[in-house]
Amino acid sequence: MTVLITGSAGFVGRNLVKVMKDRNIELLATDIINSPFDDVEYVKLDITNREDVFKVFKDYGISFVFHLAAHPLSASIKEPVRNAMINIIGSLNIMDASREFGVEKIIFSSASSIVGEVMKNPVSEDHPCKPKTPYGVAKFCVEHYLRVYQELYGLDYVIFRFFNVYGPYQYPSSGALIPVVMERIIKGQEVVIYGDGSTARDFIYVEDIADFYVETMRQRNIKNEVFNMGTGKLTTVKEVVELIAKVVGKEPKIVYRPKKPGEIMNFSADVTKLKDFFGKVPKTTLEEGLRKTYEWFSREVIS
């Protein structure tokens, strides 16, 4: 039984590879760049190259696919066509190869940003979706393709809609809140808060996500469902900055700037369905997750 991880060189992918290795699960890591791993079976793969995708499935006998490869949200606004080529056409190549070679299940990483306008909080999986970015449209599109492929061809899937993921291998260059703030506090630089810091997000520690991915393999009866991947808890931006400062052990130099227009926040995941199916919800508290992140950060980013 071999698990294919697309996008394995990315932030979530690196953590998934680590967890799978720790649990002695046979895996094949793939991404569009050269291998960042020393001791992992790896194939450099562009998922938009249909022939290469099919060759990987044929050569390695894939049983499960953890499909993480994606063109990111920020880049999608400048390059919507490229975003669609990678996130939609690339995903269709993965799905076609999966049904051709008898893959048991695809686990797809979707995003909470597909919701768009929040009408009811916390947000459940059946909340209406009206994506506001090309990235969100592509993720929502692939969700529907997976449903249709199951109905037409019997290809099983699980969809996890990520909320605000943080943890090891998320670098400040990503622009994500937690690594950016952590680096600036460590270096004694100003931390910019847009607005009054009262806007809030649902933060989920990346290793909790990896645990649920592995569970989808173990619990074969969980299939053809969409799950929110969050904690159900909101934390304000100011509270996050203060928690990071506590973990780092330095006082933050906070600077307030006008609120950015159009930012959608203040919504959390309804995790009722996750608990109903898996019997648990993500367990890592934000402070505990930040401490683990800081341990990695100190070794790999600041040292």
* 147 and 213 co-located in one domain: yes
Is 271 part of any domain? no
Is 102 part of any domain? yes
Q: What is the pLDDT of residue 259?
A: 83
SS3 295: helix
* 95 and 172 co-located in one domain: no
CATH assignment of the domain containing 237: 3.90.25.10
* 103 and 192 co-located in one domain: no
Q: What is the pLDDT of residue 301?
A: 87
Is 274 part of any domain? no
Q: How far apart are CA 288 and CA 285, in angstroms?
A: 5
Q: What is the pLDDT of residue 262?
A: 60
* 42 and 183 co-located in one domain: no
Low-confidence spans in the chain with pLDDT less than 50:
none
Cα-Cα-Cα-Cα dihedral sign, residues 15, 225, 104, 153:
negative
Is 117 part of any domain? yes
Q: How far apart are CA 47 and CA 38, in angstroms?
A: 22
DSSP string computed for 200-265: EE-EEEHHHHHHHHHHHHH-TT--SEEEEES-S--EEHHHHHHHHHHHHTS--EEEEEPPPTT---
Does the pTM surpass 0.85? The reply is yes
Q: How far apart are CA 105 and CA 143, in angstroms?
A: 14
Q: How far apart are CA 36 and CA 267, in angstroms?
A: 35
* 75 and 177 co-located in one domain: no
Is 273 part of any domain? no
* 101 and 218 co-located in one domain: yes
Is 277 part of any domain? no
* 52 and 160 co-located in one domain: yes
CATH assignment of the domain containing 70: 3.40.50.720
Q: What is the dihedral of CA 69, 75, 80, 85, to 10 degrees?
A: -20
Q: How far apart are CA 240 and CA 197, in angstroms?
A: 9
Is 10 part of any domain? yes
Q: What is the pLDDT of residue 288?
A: 98
Q: What is the pLDDT of residue 182?
A: 97
Q: How far apart are CA 253 and CA 191, in angstroms?
A: 6
Judge contact between 193 and 261, C-beta under 8 A. Answer: no
Strand duo 200-201 + 235-236: pairing: antiparallel
Give alpha helix (H) positions in the chain: 11-22, 50-60, 73-78, 80-84, 90-100, 134-153, 177-186, 206-218, 237-248, 272-278, 286-297
Q: How far apart are CA 205 and CA 98, in angstroms?
A: 29
* 71 and 103 co-located in one domain: yes
Q: What is the pLDDT of residue 264?
A: 63
Count of structural domains, the chain = 2
Q: What is the pLDDT of residue 265?
A: 72
* 83 and 158 co-located in one domain: yes
pLDDT tens for residues 2-14? 999 999 999 999 9
* 190 and 210 co-located in one domain: no
Is 275 part of any domain? no
* 78 and 158 co-located in one domain: yes
Q: Which domain holds residue 248?
A: 167-202+233-266+284-302
Q: What is the pLDDT of residue 260?
A: 73
* 195 and 182 co-located in one domain: yes
